Amino acid sequence: MTAFNPACLPHEERRHWMKRRDWPAGFTRHSAAFVMAFLWLFSAVWCGLTALIFRANGAKIEAAMDAGLTGWIVPVLVVLVGAIAVISAICTTISWLRFGSTTLRIDTLPSFVGESFRGRLEAGDYLLGRRRFTMTLTCEEVIRQAAPARRRNRKKQSHVVRRQAGSASRTIDRLPIPDGMGRSVLKLDIDVPEGLPGSLHRDDGTGYQWILSVTTSDGHEPAFSAAFEIPVYRREELLAA
């Protein structure tokens, strides 16, 4: 296979390609480590601040709760958010300890709209014996929506919103193959839907991203799920290298 020359990409996308270490090397990884760390950090900060506030204003909070049901709303919501954060952190940690890091080797580097994607999923031996998987390839548009200006803060604010531009999915009945090093390899292939934009990463964080997700669909536990961003372009939009 001829090596892909990123010089044919538009300027912003070429710069994004060169910043990444995985795509030029033909792979991408999925790991819950970052999400796990964020959830534990959020839980620690939230619960710590909650404890300090309750300790410093315990008498006022108790008086408000004794005054009526409305006084219970804020304390209950604060405690509920902390509990949900801790439970989410625990579940994410269990998933990370069980599945660890999953690697997607990209054979069609890059893929093109209207053609096909092929690759190999490298995971732990927990996939051995599983033979039914669902693949979903989704094109997501990333945009920025302006938030309403506050009375005290006239500075315009915005937040990132993701919306689906199109997708394709298929179910495969295929046994993963052991690689002899305690891991399993699953061959993947899926058609890339036509009529959609290619990958685009603008400097302001907007653009289009193609996400490939793989999940077990055989009903057996533990359920496996991983998602990867892959490069997908339109041939007619590539510049002459």
For 170-227, the pLDDT digits (tens) are 999 988 888 877 789 999 999 999 999 999 998 888 999 999 999 987 777 767 889 9
Map tokens 């199109």 to a residue: 166
Q: Considering the entire predicted model, what is its pTM?
A: 0.75
The span from the CA of 227 to the CA of 89, in Å, is 19
Confidence class of residue 135 from pLDDT cuts 50, 70 and 90?
very high
Whether residues 159 and 172 share a domain: the answer is yes
Task: Report which residue type is found at 63.
Answer: A
| pLDDT higher than threshold 80 for residue 116 | yes
Burial 36-63 (b: 16+ CB within 10 A, else e): beebbebbeebbeeeeeeeeeeeeebee
Do the strands 207-216 and 132-147 form a parallel or antiparallel pair, or are they unpaired? antiparallel
What confidence tens digit (pLDDT) does each residue in 56-101 have? Answer: 888 888 888 788 878 888 888 999 999 999 999 998 888 777 777 8
CATH of the domain at 149: 2.60.40
Binning the chain into helix, strand and coil, the percentages to the nearest 5 are 35, 35, 30
Does 2 or 29 have the greater pLDDT score? 29
Query: How many structural domains compose the chain?
Result: 2
**Domain of 60, in residue numbers:** 37-97
Whether residues 208 and 127 share a domain: the answer is yes
Whether residue 138 is contained in a domain is answered as: yes
Whether residue 135 is contained in a domain is answered as: yes
Whether residues 114 and 216 share a domain: the answer is yes
The span from the CA of 12 to the CA of 15, in Å, is 5
Whether residue 45 is contained in a domain is answered as: yes
The span from the CA of 27 to the CA of 123, in Å, is 13
Whether residues 118 and 145 share a domain: the answer is yes
Whether residues 22 and 42 share a domain: the answer is no
Among 65, 81, 97, identify where a domain stops.
97
Confidence class of residue 121 from pLDDT cuts 50, 70 and 90?
very high
Among 71, 97, 123, identify where a domain stops.
97
Whether residue 1 is contained in a domain is answered as: no
